[in-house]
Amino acid sequence: MRLRNIIAVAGAAAALASGPAMAQISDDVVKIGVIADMTGPYADIGGMGVVRAVELAVKDFGGTVLGKPIEVVSANYLSKVDIAASKAREWYDVDKVDLIIESSDSAAALAMLKIATEKKKPIVFAGSVSAMLTGKECTPFGIQWTYNTYALAAGTAGSLDRQGGDSWYFITADYAFGHSMQNDATTVIEKSGGKVLGSTVAPLGTADFSSFLIQAQASKAKVVGLANAGKDLQNAIQQAAEFGLTKNQTLAALLFYDSDIKGLGLQAAQGLQFTTAFYWDRTPETREFAKRFFEVQKAMPNQNQTAAYSATMHYLKAIAATRTDASEPVLKWMRDTPINDVFAKDGHIRVDGQMVHDMFLAEVKKPSESTGTWDMVRIKSTIPGNEAYKPLAASDCPLAKGS
């Protein structure tokens, strides 16, 4: 009888040790690495704001998970692909980082994705826009949280087409990002029965857009689409206002941020329409979050920063639910569990790694309509996630085959 009791106790102890009740946290710490451009052209849309968003999520979560501390490390990749790649490898190999969250350019993101896949560690894209990340370069370890070129192009082009903007002229940055944006927008426009009346490409770093704007005006297109970003985009918008283009044509930016409006001023940016994944003043919940974020950043959160907050919270919830920081069970839980938070409602992560959620068509207010420094935008309409993102059946992600 005594032997039987000993065996029973030993069996129970073994089951407890190996069962799901035992938390398995590698190195007794959950470590999140945030890599972003802190000093270059993308500093305003990512930068320390992304780091502080992740830190705020950790604080809101309680600072620990399963009794273990959560640590945030960060790095400035200086807009250099080799620095981003070497830092990702160092973090995974030496510093034992469990998750990387990035706000970088697409080339750097693709390089980091390859390393994350090699190391079988998750990476979240909170800033990179390339649809390749969840397209032909997709892996089980990458998640694109904020947007992609298709969602931004489809959102703006599709919404403006429904408002009667059925003829377009593009001014396009002459590199991969610009061409991808124009191609995706053209697909949506032509599918809806609209027409692209013409386009011109502008080299990266163009200061004078006058010749391109004259061609856009002469086209008589209802919408002039700007498939560029950063300072080039701001120059094009500023000069379009000076040319009086917006008196007779709608100006549409395919990638646009609050910081662009700040750089331009409402006088120049007024009336411009664009697609965004988040706006701080949309609901009581977004306003409450924005107030707390402003206390640490002294600026309202943008879509990239709020996406980083959302992704961090979802990741930490996954660790708590699965009682491990092992990549495969955590990523499975993240894909299986809907996202409902300040960034997304009924969001979900597809097998290709795309987090599908609603997008919003926004319009920059006139100076006379603004009631304060950060009151710059009105939300015109909601674009349902299943309309904003390319259907999974049309994806060129190898993981999506047969889905």
Q: Let me know if residue 2 belongs to a domain.
A: no
Give the residue from 331, 353, 375 where a domain finishes: 353
Q: Let me know if residue 20 belongs to a domain.
A: no
pLDDT value at residue 273 = 85
Q: How many domains does the chain have?
A: 2
User: 138 and 52 in one domain?
Assistant: yes
User: 294 and 182 in one domain?
Assistant: no
User: 174 and 237 in one domain?
Assistant: yes
Q: Let me know if residue 397 belongs to a domain.
A: no
User: 234 and 368 in one domain?
Assistant: yes
User: 368 and 343 in one domain?
Assistant: no
Q: What is the CATH number of the domain that holds 37?
A: 3.40.50.2300
User: 255 and 369 in one domain?
Assistant: yes
Give the residue from 312, 329, 353 where a domain finishes: 353
- pTM attached to this predicted model: 0.88
Q: Of 180, 134, 187, give the one whose Cα is nearest residue 158.
A: 187
- What's the domain range around 317? 26-147+283-353
3-state secondary structure of 167: strand
User: 289 and 265 in one domain?
Assistant: no
Q: Let me know if residue 398 belongs to a domain.
A: no
Look at the block and give the residue holding tokens 């409006």.
261
- Taking the C-alpha atoms of residue 129 and residue 286, their distance in angstroms, rounded to an integer, is 23
- Taking the C-alpha atoms of residue 70 and residue 53, their distance in angstroms, rounded to an integer, is 14
Contact 356, 386 (CB under 8 A): yes
Look at the block and give the residue holding tokens 């991969």.
176
The β-bridge partners of 200 are 171
User: 367 and 253 in one domain?
Assistant: yes
3-state secondary structure of 1: coil
- Taking the C-alpha atoms of residue 121 and residue 97, their distance in angstroms, rounded to an integer, is 9
User: 156 and 91 in one domain?
Assistant: no
User: 155 and 143 in one domain?
Assistant: no
pLDDT value at residue 167 = 97
3-state secondary structure of 39: coil
Supply the DSSP string of 288-313, one letter for each residue. HHHHHHHHHHSS---HHHHHHHHHHH
Supply the DSSP string of 263-285, one letter for each residue. HH-HHHHTT-EEEES--TTSSHH
Q: Let me know if residue 220 belongs to a domain.
A: yes
User: 176 and 70 in one domain?
Assistant: no
User: 363 and 312 in one domain?
Assistant: no
Starting at the edge strand found earlier in the chain, the sheet holding 273-276 runs 195-202, 167-173, 223-227, 250-253, 273-276, 359-364, 377-383
DSSP 365: P
The β-bridge partners of 199 are 170
Burial of 62 (0-12, 13-18, 19+ CB in 10 A): exposed
Strand 195-202 and strand 99-103: the pairing is unpaired
**What pLDDT tens digit does each residue of the chain (403 aa) get?**
343 443 333 333 333 333 445 779 999 999 999 999 998 877 888 899 999 999 999 999 999 999 999 999 999 999 899 999 999 999 999 999 999 999 988 889 999 999 999 999 999 999 988 888 999 999 999 999 999 989 998 888 888 888 899 999 999 988 777 888 898 899 889 988 999 999 999 988 899 999 999 999 999 999 999 998 878 898 999 999 898 998 899 999 999 998 889 889 999 888 888 999 999 999 999 999 999 999 999 999 999 999 999 999 999 999 999 999 999 999 999 999 999 999 999 999 999 999 999 999 999 999 999 999 999 999 999 999 998 999 999 999 999 986 6
Contact 99, 311 (CB under 8 A): no
Which amino acid would we find at residue 13?
A
Contact 226, 233 (CB under 8 A): yes
Q: Let me know if residue 223 belongs to a domain.
A: yes
Q: Let me know if residue 102 belongs to a domain.
A: yes
b/e burial code for range 145-182 (CB count within 10 A of at least 16 → b): bbbbbbbbbbbbbbbbbeeebbbbbbbbbeeebbbbbb
Give the residue from 334, 353, 372 where a domain finishes: 353
Q: Let me know if residue 13 belongs to a domain.
A: no
Q: Which two tokens stand for residue 84?
A: 């981003």
**Residue 28 region by backbone torsions, left for phi larger than 0, else alpha for psi between -120 and 50, else beta:** left
Q: Which two tokens stand for residue 124?
A: 């979240």
pLDDT value at residue 298 = 94
Residues with Cβ within 8 Å of 52's Cβ and at least 6 positions away in sequence, in order, are 293, 296, 297, 305
